[in-house]
């Protein structure tokens, strides 16, 4: 674990739970794409850089989830590097309590204020084209997070962040975290048609051809959407929908899974409602979800 893998003369990645991109900007200077999950990850990254005699100039964050920005603060303190994050992800990188707050929908209780959901804050700046070194381009990958961003090097390596999960991960965990289902499906269609010398997803093996894995992610996303719609065959409140999904998929509820899967299911319900697949109405002070065409019409005000 934490092994440096060379792809081209200038492009590398560090094999770790959320793969970190390493791009050489000169003989001695490098930049990172993401920083790992915490201080320990940052320390292992620094050891790799020191072993190769490289000076870290910048970290380019693909998005603000803790497993991607957790090493930023340590590495910045150790090297003086600059940190860049895109769009709304910048605010979450500067103020990481926003992440568990978003997932929970209010102030997160103690069990949610942990390093897996809330990284240490870091002094980040807005990611723009002007902040990139020569030979590195950025492109949008929305859906998994608000403003997730991918990167392409001029020698044909594409870093895809969290827009793809491995088949093994999808088969094991069933429901992967999503913020915007519609945007995510559009991103996957775009990625499916990309070409590159090598693709490096954060949570799947690097590969020269990513199309089949992108399609598998599309298929599984649509399967989950269909499962949720069918679960709502009779009117159910959100908690009942969530329980039936956990039971049906054989998942085990805990605080972290409640907010990660729960937030994702809410996003699916929003997408299904906006596309006319489910309806929602208030009844007896409950918000009830129901598959379209199976019951009462939804409230006009909803």
296 assigned to some structural domain: no
Sheet strand arrangement including 157-165: 136-140, 149-153, 157-165, 198-203
88 plus 12 within the same structural domain: yes
191 plus 77 within the same structural domain: yes
Single out the residue in 173, 203, 221 at which a domain terminates.
Answer: 221
**pLDDT value of position 155:** 97
Q: Is residue 60 a contact partner of residue 89, using CB atoms and an 8 Å limit?
A: no
Tens of pLDDT, residues 40-87: 999 999 999 999 999 999 999 999 999 999 999 999 999 999 999 999
**pLDDT value of position 172:** 96
137 assigned to some structural domain: yes
**pLDDT value of position 1:** 85
Residue 240's CATH number: 1.10.10
Q: Quick one: tokens of 87?
A: 């769009």
212 plus 264 within the same structural domain: no
Which of 161, 168, 173 is closest to 202 using CA atoms?
A: 161
Residue 299 pLDDT more than 60?
no
Which residues partner with 20 through β-bridges? 14
| Mean pLDDT, residues 282-297 | 89
249 plus 274 within the same structural domain: yes
302 assigned to some structural domain: no
Q: What is the DSSP annotation of 99-114?
A: HHHHHHTSSPPGGGSS
Single out the residue in 200, 221, 242 at which a domain terminates.
Answer: 221
Instruction: Output DSSP code: residue 106.
Output: S
What is the count of structural domains for the chain?
2
Residue 300 pLDDT more than 50?
no
Tens of pLDDT, residues 143-183: 999 999 999 999 999 999 999 999 999 999 999 999 999 99
Tens of pLDDT, residues 206-225: 999 999 999 999 999 999 99
Strand residue runs (E) in 106-253: 124-126, 136-140, 149-153, 157-165, 198-203, 236-237
Q: Quick one: tokens of 92?
A: 């979450």
245 plus 216 within the same structural domain: no
Report CA dihedral (55, 12, 176, 114) to the nearest 10 degrees. Answer: -20
39 plus 162 within the same structural domain: yes
Q: Quick one: tokens of 239?
A: 């908690």
Mean pLDDT computed over every residue of the chain: 97
Share of residues in the chain with pLDDT > 90 (%)? 96
Q: Is residue 253 a contact partner of residue 244, using CB atoms and an 8 Å limit?
A: no
Single out the residue in 159, 194, 221 at which a domain terminates.
Answer: 221
For 142, the domain range is 3-221
Tens of pLDDT, residues 7-37: 999 999 999 999 999 999 999 999 999 999 9
204 plus 248 within the same structural domain: no
Residue 23's CATH number: 3.60.15.10
CA distance from start to end of the chain = 49
Residue 302 pLDDT more than 90?
no
147 plus 74 within the same structural domain: yes
């Amino acid at each position: 674990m934490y092994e440096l893998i060379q792809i081209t003369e200038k492009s590398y990645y560090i094999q770790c739970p959320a793969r970190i991109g390493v791009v050489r900007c000169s003989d001695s200077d490098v930049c990172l794409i993401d920083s790992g999950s915490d201080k320990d990850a940052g320390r292992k990254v620094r050891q790799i850089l020191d072993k190769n005699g490289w000076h870290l100039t910048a970290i380019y964050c693909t998005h603000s989830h803790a497993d991607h920005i957790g090493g930023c603060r340590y590495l910045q303190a150790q090297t003086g590097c600059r940190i860049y994050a895109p769009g709304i992800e910048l605010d979450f990188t500067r103020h990481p309590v926003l992440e568990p707050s978003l997932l929970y929908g209010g102030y997160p209780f103690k069990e949610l204020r942990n390093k897996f959901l809330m990284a240490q804050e870091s002094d980040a700046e807005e990611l723009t084209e002007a902040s990139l070194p020569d030979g590195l381009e950025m492109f949008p990958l929305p859906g998994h997070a608000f403003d997730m961003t991918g990167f392409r090097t001029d020698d044909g390596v594409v870093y895809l962040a969290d827009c793809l999960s491995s088949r093994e991960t999808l088969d094991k965990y069933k429901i992967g975290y999503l913020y915007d289902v519609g945007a995510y499906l559009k991103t996957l269609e775009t990625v499916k048609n990309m070409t590159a010398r090598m693709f490096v997803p954060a949570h799947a093996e690097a590969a020269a051809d990513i199309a089949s894995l992108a399609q598998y992610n599309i298929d599984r996303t649509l399967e989950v959407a269909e499962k949720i719609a069918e679960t709502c065959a009779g009117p159910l409140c959100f908690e009942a929908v969530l329980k039936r999904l956990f039971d049906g998929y054989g998942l085990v509820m805990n605080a972290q899974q409640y907010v990660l899967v729960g937030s994702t299911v809410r996003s699916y319900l929003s997408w299904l409602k906006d596309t006319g697949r489910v309806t929602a109405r208030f009844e007896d002070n409950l918000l009830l979800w129901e598959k379209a065409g199976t019951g009462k019409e939804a409230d006009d005000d909803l």
